Structure 1
Amino acid sequence: MSQSGIDLDRSLGYLLKEASSALRTAMEEVLRPLGMSVTHYSCLELLAQRPGLSNSELARGAFVTRQTMNVLLQALERDGYVTRPAEAPVGKVLPARLTPRGQQSLEQASAAVRAVEVRMLSGMTETERSAAFRILRSMIHSLRDGDGNDGA
């Protein structure tokens, strides 16, 4: 145990952060040759699943600031991966959509990311994978929606 009282080898939060960091590193390694970052990939994936998302919605979905997403969207638009209207159809929101080039780029990136996920789960049985998904969703739900009172 360290002086702070937390044994990092037994801290679930620390292990989750370490797993998240390892996953991000592995994803960056397979995306880099495609000219992408994880944030770039996340943006394209979000737009494929929900065309027309705003800058703010994309930023939330990719876990970055609105400013970071705005810079990325400008670059993606300049490079022909996404398109946005010159003027907002409603309010100030400029909904983004993938171009055919963006869709093709996303298909390559998705295959690379799937390979990383397969590698990450390769040491687990199907039952263990299902349990991991269930457990992680439960943790997310408890932290986002729980009030900190477990009813005990």
Structure 2
Amino acid sequence: MQDEFEEWKKALPMPKGGSKADAARQLRDSVRVFTFGFRDWLEETMRPQGMTLPQLRMLFAVRYGKDASSAKIARLCQVTPQTLQAMLQRAVREGWLVRQPAKHNARILVSALTPKGDALLQQAVAATTAFELQVWRDATVAELQAMNAAFTRATQRIAQIEAMPAARPRKRGGKPKSVAKL
């Protein structure tokens, strides 16, 4: 992964110092490389169990999205409803999930983890925790907390921006809208 990061830095120069915009771009690019590296590692870790990352996200969505409909799980997993249906069928076949009618509406099927599905999630969490401790071994708790605070603020700002009508993509041929400052 270090070689890939070095290639990335050559392709997109990351200036030292500079403006807030330069620092933000540098952070964005570092986060992108980190995220890709983490995803690659997690996929390799879960591959022997016959699991992909979208399937793992699906299991997490089922665990934490109590009585979540398929449509909600698809949104959480960032897949189409059709793709999710295939994923759910496989998960039931593999014994990771069971599906049953929702208590509030018998026409809606909700999913629940089986002990086998829960064990897969626990394995992924344990592996991820060990990986994170290794990756962040040189960072202090204060540094990690500061990064978390910064990302939390950024996530809140993204939600604010997305809620603004001017931030929504415009239709082809439509007039450009002014972008509001926050």
TM over 0.5: yes
Alpha carbon RMSD of aligned pairs, Å?
2.3
CA distance in 1, matches of 2:52, 2:157: 30
- After the TM superposition, which residues 4-83 of structure 1 pair with which residues of structure 2 at under 5 Å, given as runs? 7-10=12-15, 11=25, 12-83=27-98
Q: Which has the higher contact order (CA 8 A, sep 6+)?
A: 1
Question: Where in structure 1 do 4 or more consecutive aligned residues deviate above 6 Å?
Answer: none
Determine whether 1:149 maps to 2:181.
Answer: yes
Aligned partner letter, 1:98: L
Unmatched tracts of structure 2, length 5 or more: 1-11, 16-24, 165-179
- Residues 59, 113 of structure 2: 8 Å contact kept: yes
TM-score, scaled to structure 1: 0.81
Per mean C-alpha deviation after superposition, the further-off stretch among 18-27 and 140-149 is 140-149
- Residues 96, 113 of structure 2: 8 Å contact kept: yes
**2:110 aligned counterpart, secondary structure:** coil
CA distance in 1, matches of 2:13, 2:79: 27
Aligned partner letter, 1:129: L
**1:96 aligned counterpart, secondary structure:** strand
Q: CA deviation at 1:144?
A: 1.8
- Residues 30, 113 of structure 1: 8 Å contact kept: no
Q: CA deviation at 1:113?
A: 2.0
CA distance in 2, matches of 1:92, 1:15: 45
Aligned partner letter, 1:19: F
Indicate which of 91, 106, 123 corresponds to 1:108: 123
Matched with 1:3 is none
Q: Quickly say closer, same or farther: Cα 1:92–1:101, change in 2 above 3 A.
A: same
Which structure has the larger Rg? Answer: 2
TM-score, scaled to structure 2: 0.69
Q: CA deviation at 1:8?
A: 4.8
Determine whether 1:121 maps to 2:136.
Answer: yes
Among all aligned residue pairs of Structure 1 and Structure 2, give the percentage whose two residues are the same amino acid: 26
Unmatched tracts of structure 1, length 5 or more: 1-6
Q: How many residues of Structure 1 are paired with residues of Structure 2 in the alignment? A: 144
Q: Quickly say closer, same or farther: Cα 1:142–1:109, change in 2 above 3 A.
A: same
Aligned partner letter, 1:9: M
